[in-house]
Amino acid sequence: MLRLSKKADYALIAMKHLSRLPGDGASTSAREIAEQYDIPLELMAKVLQRLVRSGLLVSTQGTRGGYTLRRASSSISVADVIQAIDGPFTVTACSTDDHDCEQFEKCNIRDPLWRLKERILEALGTVSLAQLASDAERAQEQEVETAPVAVLRRAQVQ
């Protein structure tokens, strides 16, 4: 089964959090994100630093410092975030550059799986942080709209 790493999960949480901050260029600290989502601070700091190194975030030092999205949330895809944390997306042990596998020449599933990998990556590339944030907001609105309503009836006294 395909599954994101815990670090990729945390990175998506942090990036979505940053994309929902009010104001253009608003920043927040690793501590704020870690505390809000119950993520170990050291791990969150490492994830955020990796996102800085990959060019998705900007880090500012100082009392008003913190982390900010480098570009608009609509131009950062889920695939960008996952690959920044976990490296290139793969579905097989081999890759186009790795011919060390004993089955490489005779493998009858390699090419179809590589095409599948490209389709998955393409799908992840079509979902932006802005869409993730708006999907969550819509889900919260729907929960409010469809929340069960208790109806209390008074018993008639005879």
- Which pTM does this prediction carry? 0.78
Domain assignment present for residue 73? The answer is yes
Q: What is the CATH number of the domain that holds 67?
A: 1.10.10.10
pLDDT band, residue 150 (cuts 50/70/90): very low
What type of residue is 39? I
In sequence order, the 6+-apart residues with CB closer than 8 A to the CB of 72 are 130
Tell whether 81 is covered by a domain: yes
Q: What is the pLDDT of residues 101-127, one digit of tens each?
A: 777 778 888 788 888 889 999 999 999
Residue 147 belongs to a domain: no
Output the pLDDT for position 135.
72
In a domain, 106, yes or no: yes
Q: How confident is the model at residue 17 (pLDDT cuts 50, 70, 90)?
A: very high
Range of the domain at 55: 6-130
- Confirm if 42 and 92 have CB atoms less than 8 A apart: no
Domain assignment present for 158? no
Whether 14 maps to a domain, the answer reads: yes
Among candidates 46, 45, 50, 49, which has minimal Cα distance to 33? 45
**Assigned domain for 71 exists:** yes
Query: Is 78 inside a domain boundary?
Result: yes
Q: How many domains does the chain have?
A: 1
